[in-house]
């Protein structure tokens, strides 16, 4: 029992001097300020495919509504996002630096140039940032980042990388619904029928991969959904909310949680 008490005490120790305590406070103030700054940053008036799972989010974005003010910044959630970004770079670096007969890393910008020539009315544009390519359209208004484009065993694939917690990773038998909606939009916007969704456990680095296929009908449906969102935004008619109890509809997951409640 004495050992157990000692162990509990050890876990409760966070500093050992006045300065180390003050330094922790200073660090957390800096972190909280940065999290607020990023979270409350005005959204671009464009559809985000990562939010296609919830039409309300993209409706607020298209309307130019400012995100909710953050009362208590979640440093753990922010840290998790930062770790996820680092995992993306590790995977992208490995794939882009290794070419073989089976796997080739492609230049997303070349593919966007082809789409731009095919659909001049959409006004495609792209900007490379590290291993990611930021893509934008004006018609419909969309902005997103492409994790990667590859050929594997002679087949063209859009690559989407997702990191998740250990418990969530263990239960995965298919892409999460929100991720499915996201890559479905990517498939439509990039006109690539086949997608590989690579999941990585943030704790141990274990991996799972799921292949998805979206035919032309599915791709056209997504584009039509985007135009409908634009129409609703112009008419100030809010689309339906997610069903009650949906895990996406929480303050930590949604930048518009409070404003959505008002509607």
Tell whether the model's pLDDT for residue 239 goes beyond 50.
Answer: yes
Element (H, E) at 28: helix 18-39
154 belongs to a structural domain: yes
1 has pLDDT over 60: no
Determine, yes or no, domain membership for 71: yes
Instruction: State residue 143's pLDDT score.
Output: 96
Structural domain includes residue 2: no
Q: Is residue 166 part of a domain?
A: yes
Q: Quick one: DSSP state of residue 47?
A: B
pLDDT digits (tens, 9 = 90+) for 175-202: 999 999 999 999 999 999 999 999 999 9
| Residue 104 domain-assigned (yes or no) | yes
Least confident of 39-43, 96-100, 188-192: 39-43
Q: Which CATH number characterizes residue 62's domain? A: 3.90.320
In this predicted model, what pLDDT tens digit does every residue of 116-136 receive, in sequence order? 999 999 999 999 888 889 999
Write the DSSP symbol of residue 199: E
Total tally of structural domains belonging to the chain: 1
Q: Quick one: CA dihedral 207, 210, 211, 217, positive or negative? A: negative
Domain coverage including residue 176: 49-234
Query: pLDDT for 69-88, tens place per residue?
Result: 887 778 888 888 888 889 99
249 in Cβ contact with 257 (< 8 Å): yes
For range 217-232, the mean pLDDT: 97
pTM (predicted TM-score): 0.87
Rounded to whole angstroms, the Cα distance separating 116 from 134 reads 14
Return contacts of 127-131, CB within 8 angstroms, 24+ apart.
130/89, 130/92, 131/88, 131/89, 131/92, 131/93, 131/96
Query: Is residue 4 in a domain?
Result: no
Taking only the tens place, the pLDDT of each residue in 2-34 is 445 556 566 678 888 999 999 999 989 998 888
In a domain, 255, yes or no: no
Report residue 211's pLDDT band, with 50, 70 and 90 as the boundaries: very high
pLDDT tens by residue, 156-178: 999 999 999 999 999 999 999 99
What is the rounded average pLDDT for all residues in the chain?
A: 90
- pLDDT at residue 151 is higher than 80: yes
Sheet of 141-146: strands edge to edge?
A: 125-129, 132-138, 141-146
pLDDT at residue 2, rounded to an integer: 47
Task: Give 248 or 115, the one with higher predicted confidence.
Answer: 115
The answer to whether residue 18 is domain-embedded is no
Instruction: Give me the percent of the chain exceeding a pLDDT of 90.
Output: 66
Q: Quick one: average pLDDT of 191-219?
A: 96
Task: Note the pLDDT of residue 4.
Answer: 52
- Indicate the pLDDT class of residue 106, thresholds 50, 70 and 90: very high
SS3 content of the chain, % helix, strand, coil (to 5): 50, 20, 30
């Amino acid at each position: 029992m004495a050992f157990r008490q000692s162990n509990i005490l050890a876990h409760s120790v966070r500093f050992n001097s006045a300065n180390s305590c003050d330094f922790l406070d200073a660090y957390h103030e800096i972190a909280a300020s940065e999290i607020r700054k990023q979270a409350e940053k005005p959204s671009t008036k464009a559809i985000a495919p990562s939010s296609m799972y919830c039409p309300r989010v993209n409706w607020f974005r298209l309307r130019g509504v400012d995100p909710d003010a953050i009362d208590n910044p979640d440093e753990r959630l922010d840290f998790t996002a930062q770790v996820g970004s680092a995992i993306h770079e590790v995977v992208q670096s490995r794939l882009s630096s290794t070419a073989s007969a089976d796997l080739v890393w492609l230049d997303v910008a070349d593919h966007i140039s082809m789409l731009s020539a095919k659909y001049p009315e959409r006004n495609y544009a792209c900007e490379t940032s590290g291993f990611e390519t930021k893509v934008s359209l004006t018609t419909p208004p969309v902005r997103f980042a492409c994790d990667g484009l590859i050929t594997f065993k002679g087949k063209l694939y859009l690559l989407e990388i997702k990191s998740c917690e250990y418990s969530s990773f263990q239960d995965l038998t298919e892409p999460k619904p929100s991720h499915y909606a996201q890559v479905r939009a990517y498939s439509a916007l990039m006109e690539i029928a086949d997608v590989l969704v690579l999941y990585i456990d943030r704790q141990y680095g274990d991996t799972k991969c799921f292949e998805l296929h979206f035919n032309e009908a599915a791709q056209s449906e997504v584009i039509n959904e985007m135009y409908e969102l634009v129409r609703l935004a112009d008419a100030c008619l809010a689309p339906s909310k997610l069903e009650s109890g949906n895990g996406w509809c929480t303050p930590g997951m949604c930048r518009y949680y409070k404003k959505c409640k008002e509607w």
